[in-house]
Chain A
């Protein structure tokens, strides 16, 4: 992508440039995230959609510098508030974490400490990242956040096993947002929850984002969830982004064949012939040559198997990586 730096608009809160996150193994490098570029603007809900193995969770870890060995960051920049996160020291990073950048990892509701009360866990997290705060202040904050997410105050005195899945997830959200961060990355916050609770959590995230002027990166494989709350969406496949656009435009007129396939796969009542996408997802050890989707694409041409189409802007804000549009 030519001259990215001077085209970054002023209100871009996060700019990711050619980020690469690989995993070392005895068989070679797993190129989980292989050159990803996108912008996230202030106060929007930016969705990252994709199926298993596309690299979206690894992307979240890469952005937040939470990649653990055998994974490693193989290149790229993550510019947050005009600072490259990948170049910061652990100390400096610590100052930003939780206060400006928050993370709700996948399955985090199951990672609550079973032997500590909710209040203690929340206060621990708050005080850890905001050492100037007094114990009582932190407790006050914990209580107020619990009521923000609609939980009764007595939850603070309970243990995780006494709460339902939805309640635990709300505790996680309350803790992550306690210090009112600018950017929240939520990775599959509604998987493993009942459908009625999923709706509640999604609406809660949207409501909190409006209330606190936050920016949210929402990662999920559930396209319908994205349709309900996102402002803009990026579709990820095989370690790369294949399409970016506003949620309405992408759903109304999906450009990339994979996006089209994804949207067509959503079962809805009345649609008796849901289609799927033929073939299987490729392995990160051995991405296909050229366009990574070409083995499964019904529009694939010879050029598709040889040359990899770059992610290009078609019209304002609409990006696609496909030879059909070049």
Chain B
């Protein structure tokens, strides 16, 4: 009863969004859904293709094979089927960026709301902390951490990425909260006897959903960028395949020079599609919530 009441505005809004979504949003979501579907189905695809063996297992297949029907992307220097590894890389990249984006957004919302709504000394403390983190060059720190702890697991990677992207989102969310808390409907809620928590959850956050969504999309893309960038420099756990890592191998072993174009194009295209789909989602969301950007009113 409580949850259904709490979720109802979100659900009805979601249905409203989908009905009024413009083509950019739909295309972006379409591509994303397709990629996520592959990521989810990957264990089954690989089980079927490889007969239940771990794609990362060394020496399973003959090394340095070029593209063939059996190994559409050939094999690498360790004898791993690259298509299998690429699919797993897609899966892990998606998990990584979704998870770290989500964690970053949750932290950003909590801190942004506390900072904006409570204000005063709490705002000053959280604000200084946020600004401090913003000033620290995150990428070098990330590289440092990755270098010192080469054998980290996926979850730790997510946490590290999240830790550096929440400050951006927190600032926008705080600004949103500041502008919303002075709106008349908040005063109205107060005269209905709402306490602060009710106001934040029922009045303020539902009005921030578009910003939180765009924030989430930005954090996800940011995480993908950061991870890929680090991988291309060779940083990060070598036993967890992500698209960035595959690209790193591909360039390190000069596949282009060998004329093995497919092995370069497929992983990079997958990455590009991830970025493109999120960007279309962000632009589509933006246009929907700023109807002035559109040519026809959808009042």
Contact = CB atoms under 8 A, between A and B. Distances in A.
Contacts of A23: 297
B299 interface: yes
Q: How large is the interface on A (under 10, 10 to 19, 20 to 34, 35 or more residues)?
A: under 10
A289 B296 CA distance: 26
Interface string A23-45: 11111000000000000000000
Interface in A50-69: 69
B295 A69 contact: yes
Nearest to B299: A25
A283 to B, nearest CB: 11
Nearest to B20: A26
A27 B298 CA distance: 8
A72 to B, nearest CB: 11
A124 to B, nearest CB: 25
Contacts of A26: 296-298
A278 interface: no
A27 B92 CA distance: 44
A70 interface: yes
A25 B295 CA distance: 9
Contacts of B298: 25-26
A74 B296 CA distance: 16
Interface string B126-151: 00000000000000000000000000
Contacts of A25: 296-299
A35 to B, nearest CB: 22
Contacts of A69: 295
A29 to B, nearest CB: 11
Interface in B273-299: 295-299
Contacts of B295: 69-70
A219 to B, nearest CB: 23
Contacts of B296: 24-26, 70
Nearest to A26: B298
Contacts of A70: 295-297
Nearest to B294: A70
Contacts of A27: 299
B17 to A, nearest CB: 15
Interface in A1-50: 23-27
B295, B298, B299 interface centre (most CB from chain A within 10 Å): B299
Interface string B246-277: 00000000000000000000000000000000
B206 to A, nearest CB: 24
B23 to A, nearest CB: 14
Interface in A121-145: none
A326 B291 CA distance: 45
A27 B295 CA distance: 14
A69 to B, nearest CB: 6
Nearest to A68: B292
Contacts of B299: 25, 27
A29 B59 CA distance: 68
Nearest to B291: A70
A21 to B, nearest CB: 14
B100 to A, nearest CB: 38
B283 to A, nearest CB: 20
A24 B295 CA distance: 9
A216 B37 CA distance: 66
Nearest to B295: A69
B147 to A, nearest CB: 47
Nearest to A71: B297
A69 B294 CA distance: 10
A69 B296 CA distance: 8
Interface string B184-200: 00000000000000000
A26 B19 CA distance: 13
A302 B241 CA distance: 79
Interface in A233-280: none
Contacts of B297: 23-26, 70
A89 B296 CA distance: 25
A70 B297 CA distance: 7
Interface string B76-102: 000000000000000000000000000
B103 to A, nearest CB: 38
B223 to A, nearest CB: 36
A258 to B, nearest CB: 26
A99 B200 CA distance: 53
A69 B293 CA distance: 11
Interface string B141-184: 00000000000000000000000000000000000000000000
Nearest to A285: B299
B297 to A, nearest CB: 5
B16 to A, nearest CB: 13
Contacts of A24: 296-297
A67 to B, nearest CB: 14
Interface string A275-295: 000000000000000000000
Interface of B: 295-299
15 contacts: A23-B297, A24-B296, A24-B297, A25-B296, A25-B297, A25-B298, A25-B299, A26-B296, A26-B297, A26-B298, A27-B299, A69-B295, A70-B295, A70-B296, A70-B297
Nearest 6 CB-CB pairings of A with B: A25-B297, A70-B297, A26-B298, A70-B296, A24-B296, A69-B295
Given A70-B295, A70-B297, 13 more contacts: A23-B297, A24-B296, A24-B297, A25-B296, A25-B297, A25-B298, A25-B299, A26-B296, A26-B297, A26-B298, A27-B299, A69-B295, A70-B296
